[in-house]
Amino acid sequence: MKILRNKTFTAIIKITLSLGALVFVFTKIDIGEVFRIFGHSNALLMLLALILFVLSKYVSAIRLNLFFSSISLHIDKVYNLKLYLLGMYYNLFLPGGIGGDGYKIWLLNKHHDIKVKNIFWAVLLDRLTGMMALFCLAVALSLFISPDFVFPYKAYVWTLIPASLLGFYFLLKKFFPDFTGNYIQTSLQAFAVQIFQLLCAFAILRAIGGREDSVEYLFLFLISSIVATLPITIGGVGSREISFLYGSQILGLDQNLSIALSLAFYIITAFTSFWGIVYSFQSRVFDRKITS
């Protein structure tokens, strides 16, 4: 009962923070203008953005399966894709429950002779690899941001990229040696995931009429993606918009266009994740041991 109360309390806090952040953001922008932007958006480019997002998640699922293989957890590729989609659904629509990652850890431990802590580290390190790729891409784009006063040490910022890659490798080598064998492949996949999502954001930006300062908007998108990974709101909604709101002020971008980009990306995320509901009604699909 205590655990259930804690989860309920956590869900209430996340919902409150998400709604509070959205209300705050909407008081700072012209909502009518945001709707006008959506009303004049290019449907074909939005469809392209959706396809690019789905591709990013497909590669992400493959990457996670590679992390599983590092701990001798070999599961069927189709099974893994279904489980990944179900996890997306749980993460976004059931914030107070066990969550998508927690469900995967519980289920895989139930049907495979793998320790919970090993599965936990595989899932966590998968997430951290994605964060590393996000950070490196953000650093790379920061080199092309026009207002130099924001980045007074721009000439040296690029050194953070090799430092991050090497630092993460030595972290794995020292504390998680089982995962070093696939380091290059999982890192390349992590960059592929984030590049697909960056292209998704670019397609959205063009769909809603963004023609100038594309690099600045995409840089802000990466920063907001990093903030959105923090488990303080529902699926990052609210925290991403706050990041866009203040980031657009600092970089001198159109706030309405920035929030429209953020909301469109969330809608695409929610639409894709929602299809995991199909497997939530088909628990028998996962209620067995499946190996590749």
pLDDT in tens, 100-144: 788 889 889 888 888 999 999 999 999 999 999 999 999 999 888
Structure tokens at 249: 């002020």
Give the pLDDT confidence score for residue 292 in this predicted structure: 66
Give the pLDDT confidence score for residue 112 in this predicted structure: 87
Q: Is the full-model pTM beyond 0.85?
A: yes
Q: Which of 191, 186, 200 is nearest to 54 (CA)?
A: 200
Distances (CA, A) of 255 to 40, 90, 210, 245, 292: 17, 31, 12, 6, 48
pLDDT tens per residue across span 54-78: 999 999 999 999 999 999 999 999 9
Q: Where are the domains of the chain?
A: 2-285
Structure tokens at 255: 């706030």
Give the pLDDT confidence score for residue 148 in this predicted structure: 60
Give the pLDDT confidence score for residue 7 in this predicted structure: 56
Give the pLDDT confidence score for residue 118 in this predicted structure: 94
CA distance 39 to 29: 17
Can you list the residues of the chain whose pLDDT is less than 70?
1-11, 14, 21, 24, 94-98, 146-152, 231-236, 282-289, 292
Give the pLDDT confidence score for residue 277 in this predicted structure: 87
| Longest Cα separation, the chain | 57
Long-range contacts of range 38-44, CB-CB < 8 Å, 24 or more positions apart? Answer: 38/208, 38/260, 38/264, 40/208, 40/209, 41/207, 41/208, 41/209, 41/264, 42/206, 42/207, 42/208, 43/207
